[in-house]
Amino acid sequence: MTASPLDIGFIGLGIMGAPMAGHLARAGHRLFVHSRSPVPPELVQAGATVCANGKEVASRAGIVFVMVPDTPDVAEVLFGEDGVAAAKVDGKTVVDMSSISPIETKVFARKMGELGCAYLDAPVSGGQLGAKNATLSIMVGGDEAVFERVKPLFELLGKNITLVGGVGDGQTAKVANQIIVALTIEAVAEGLLFAARAGADPARVRQALLGGFASSRILEVHGERMIKRTFDPGFRVELHQKDLNLALQGAHALGLSLPNTATAQELFNSCAAHGGKGQDHSSMVRALERLANFEMGGK
């Protein structure tokens, strides 16, 4: 925690942003917020000031956090009419914690830098639970001095906080994270589906695997979701589709082949085509179940 309260802006108060902003407010910082979704009353009760737009947030805060779904959303927040860049931002700092294009991140940072505004990209991993519990992993790109200045605030939001490199490198790390998460979800789904189709109890198989080399956080959390059929997000399929699009577009530009990433994306596409884009990404198992004409059980 910083030695004295700071004037902090927070734009984007969805299932991730709202609890993150709450941690900053409860630490005693003066919070100025704006969101397309309704501002949670508990934030107002904690002392947050609701602003009409990004310009007002940036006018009143020295550090502005952004947590919105996609690259165009960040562009609109920063450079749209009455966006952050419309305020006097010289000497201020923008911290984008959204998961967006590393290439566009560098463009956004350059444009804000021309206005005298420092910029960090700081996407997170850990989902809604990590946001609520302040246990997020935070992957940061940007100048080290700016990172050190903002780090006490990051420590209110997460546990594993890493300066990966320059601007855009945080987003690159997040894309890598999303590749690994998607492929691990697919592996867990295949393993549990195989076990269930062979006649074993998938819940007991999962319990056995948690004590071995196949153990993972995804087997622990998402494996349970698959078995209990609890697919409320969490992290929505459509957001993971967006992240894998970034991975596949980047791979194309780099001349890389990511065959299993492409397969995971096709499984997510199947989920979305069957009306599941708003479900938790653990629902990828449903695409595999449709291919097998077999469901593990539950609803």
Does the pTM exceed 0.85? Answer: yes
Predicted confidence (pLDDT) per residue in 137-169, tens digit: 999 999 999 999 999 999 999 999 999 999 999
Cα 45 off chain centre by: 26
Report how far apart, in Å, the C-alpha atoms of 272 and of each of 70, 94, 179, 221 are: 17, 33, 18, 22
Confidence of residue 37 (pLDDT cuts 50, 70, 90): confident
Please give the helix or strand (H or E) that residue 26 lies within, else none. Answer: helix 17-26
Cβ atoms of 29 and 63 within 8 Å: the answer is no
Query: How does residue 298 score in pLDDT terms, banded at 50, 70 and 90?
Result: very low
- pLDDT(236) > 60: yes
Mean pLDDT, residues 105-111 taken together: 98
Instruction: Determine the pLDDT at residue 3.
Output: 44
For residue 4, what pLDDT band results from cuts at 50, 70 and 90? low
Distance CA 179, CA 193 (A): 21
Active site residues: 174
